[in-house]
Chain A
């Protein structure tokens, strides 16, 4: 068991960090303030191969492991959590279900352009009545000849409006509950598929969060992903892997906030000493460093299992809930250490604190993660 990164991972981390610091960090505050989607940076990420890290080369991906992916999302999120989730949602929530459940034709048609970054992906599961409880899905799909007709809406969809490809869930048979749900691949521009409300959010403000609206939207039968009735399972498996991405995003937020606090504590003096010389602050920093280290190890463990195609559900849930709670604690503490200045927009920590909150909510709330963990430990 080796706890050190190998040469490739070290090189990848350096590359993404350099890219993040030189190209992504400078505009991050302005993008946050204006809620401006990072379209140019998304394209550059595609060119660098960041959009398809875990997918096979034959499908346009890089063929790298989950650790490479986690490192990438962490380094991007360390300077811009909105950009981190843009890549994560695209890869884990849209490209990956097609990768895992798609036919060869679907992979050639949809996965390849997603993996190369030529097209952007999104995932439409959540609805007004179906958040933690996916069985509340009210969007319907009806088979008519060689088409499906979709009616309904989705909310809080990351990358909505900008994405070209959408994996969505719809109910085909309410009497079967979760087993009636099916998953579909949808293209932007399909008649009957439009966008509704753009959400105004507390944090990750430059990530696009939109409502999707389906009004008699007709899609070819070949766009069914997996089998009818398999949609819930596809969604749950997708989220299992997606949690590694969000855990990495949270880890990045925590790391970025911690570094800001560490740096500030060495520069700021009160009571004749730098803050870093005061026990009170030292203990805060020590706790932050410790929690981040623990979160990192949980994330890396989940990555190891995912790369080996071993059951990942429990460990991904553990990594996600721990990393998310760490991000919130660390970012809040970072604002505290920077004091009055940390509360202003002159420093990035207030944004990191606002960004951190969502990691405890999306891709499964922290409460849901605990339900997943409990279900796993009680079935053993």
Chain B
């Protein structure tokens, strides 16, 4: 089976966000990780490979540093990686990203494409679905369970207040939700083998594209940090009185009841 995983490198969820002098997010010295939701996709891909045989190819976009994340996924057991690294296109929007990924993915055989349901940095939750559209294949998002038989996927999908069971023909794009699986740690052997695995680095030109083909459809004019949390209020006194005072404050000050 030819399994493709779309992987994004994001800030560590514990990283402190700082804006530089231009009001842009400063990535200096920040710890970068595989988008946690993409880890579920990698793990699911490895489980499919263990069951059906075949290869897992990672596809990603970004700078040189993204290679660290690809290398980690290779250490987990994936077979090779493709990285589109082209400074001529800066901070591509979700449409441009999905167009580029579609071009990259079209160059290799694929039976199934997996990705995380959302990236923890910008939280758009769009690219994988746009990718499916660009490739003209179906997509199912937020999957909690996947079974494949006879070129068909039976998928449990998370919805508000429950789940739905969906049958989808392959190839398809499926996005992983937390709970799909427990991502494995890369083993020592995996880490040693990872450096020998291929990561192909491509520019837009290698894909037969240029930045001019991808005019920006959406831009972000401003970033701002959330307001600082104000200090909490501590209510003293006997339990009954304190409860009364709390109720009063919740009603009159916080206006939540």
Q: Do A and B come from one complex?
A: yes
Residues of A within 8 A of B (CB): 7-8, 11-12, 14-15, 18-19, 47-50, 53, 62-64, 68, 72
Whose C-beta in chain A lies nearest to the C-beta of B188? A49
Question: CB-CB contacts of B72-98 with A at 8 A, as 1s and 0s?
Answer: 100100000000000000000000000
Instruction: Please state if A11 and B187 are interface contacts (CB–CB under 8 Å).
Output: no
Contact assessment for B191 and A15 in the assembled complex, using a CB-CB cutoff below 8 Å: yes
C-alpha gap A19/B185 in the complex (Å): 7
Cβ 8 A contact of B188, one of A7, A14, A18, A68? A68
Q: Provide the residues of chain B in CB contact with A48, threshold 8 Å.
A: 185, 187-188
Seen from chain B, the residues whose Cβ lies within 8 Å of a Cβ on chain A are 68, 71-72, 75, 185-192, 194-195
CB closest chain-A residue, reference B75: A11
Could you list 20 A-B pairs, sorted by A, with CB under 8 Å? A7-B68, A7-B195, A8-B195, A11-B71, A11-B75, A11-B191, A11-B194, A12-B188, A12-B191, A15-B75, A15-B185, A15-B186, A15-B187, A15-B188, A15-B191, A49-B190, A53-B188, A63-B192, A64-B188, A68-B188
Contacts of A8 in B (CB 8 A): 191-192, 195
A13, chain B: closest CB distance, angstroms: 10
**B189 A18 Cβ-Cβ under 8 A:** no
Q: What secondary structure prevails in chain B residues at the interface with A?
A: helix
* Contact B188–A50 (Cβ < 8 Å): yes
- Counting chain A CB atoms within 10 Å of each CB, the highest count among B187, B188, B189, B191 belongs to B188
What residue in chain A is nearest B33 (Cβ atoms)? A14
Q: A8-B191, A15-B188, A48-B185 are in contact. List 6 more A-B contacts (CB 8 A).
A: A15-B186, A15-B191, A53-B188, A62-B188, A62-B189, A64-B192
Contact partner, B185, options A18, A62, A72, Cβ 8 Å: A18
Report the minimum CB–CB distance from B106 to chain A (whole Å): 30
Q: Which residue of A lies closest to B195 (CB)?
A: A8
Please give, as numbers and ranges, the residues of chain A lying within 8 Å of B192 by CB-CB distance: 8, 62-64
Please name all residues of chain B whose beta carbon is closer than 8 Å to the beta carbon of A7 when the two chains form the complex. Answer: 68, 71, 195
Kindly provide the distance from the CB of A319 to the nearest chain B CB, expressed in whole angstroms: 22
How far is it, in angstroms, between the C-alpha of A8 and the C-alpha of B190 when the chains are bound?
Answer: 10
Asked whether A49 lies within 8 Å of B68 as measured between CB atoms, the reply is no
Q: Which residues of chain A are within 8 angstroms of B187 by Cβ–Cβ distance?
A: 15, 47-49
CA distance A15 to B191 in the complex (A): 9
Chain B residues in 8 Å Cβ range of A63: 192
Write the nearest CB–CB distance from B212 to chain A, whole angstroms. 35
A351 to B71, CA, bound (A): 37
Residues of B with C-beta under 8 A to A62: 188-189, 192
Chain A residues whose CB sits within 8 angstroms of the CB of B185 once the complex forms: 15, 18-19, 48
| A19 CB contacts on chain B under 8 angstroms | 185
Whole-angstrom distance between the Cβ of B71 and the nearest chain A Cβ? 7
A39 to B: closest C-beta gap in Å? 19
- CB pair B71–A49 under 8 Å, yes or no, is no
Chain A residues near B195: list those with CB within 8 A: 7-8
Residues of A within 8 A of B72 (CB): 11, 14
Query: Which A residues touch B191, using CB under 8 A?
Result: 8, 11-12, 15
A142 to chain B, nearest CB (A): 42
Please name all residues of chain B whose beta carbon is closer than 8 Å to the beta carbon of A12 when the two chains form the complex: 188, 191
A12 to B75, CA, bound (A): 10
Leading 9 A-B pairs by shortest Cβ distance:
A49-B188, A62-B188, A49-B187, A49-B189, A48-B187, A11-B191, A19-B185, A15-B185, A15-B186
In the assembled complex, the Cα of A64 lies from the Cα of B189 at a distance in Å of 9
**How many whole Å from A267's CB to the nearest CB in chain B?**
16
CB distance from B188 to the nearest CB of A (A): 3
A68 to B68, CA, bound (A): 18
Give the CA-CA distance A18 to B184 in the complex, in Å.
Answer: 11
| B68: chain A residues within 8 A (beta carbon) | 7
| Closest residue of B by beta carbon distance from A11 | B191
The complex places the Cα of A49 from the Cα of B189 at a distance, in Å, of 6
Residue of B nearest to A63 (CB): B192
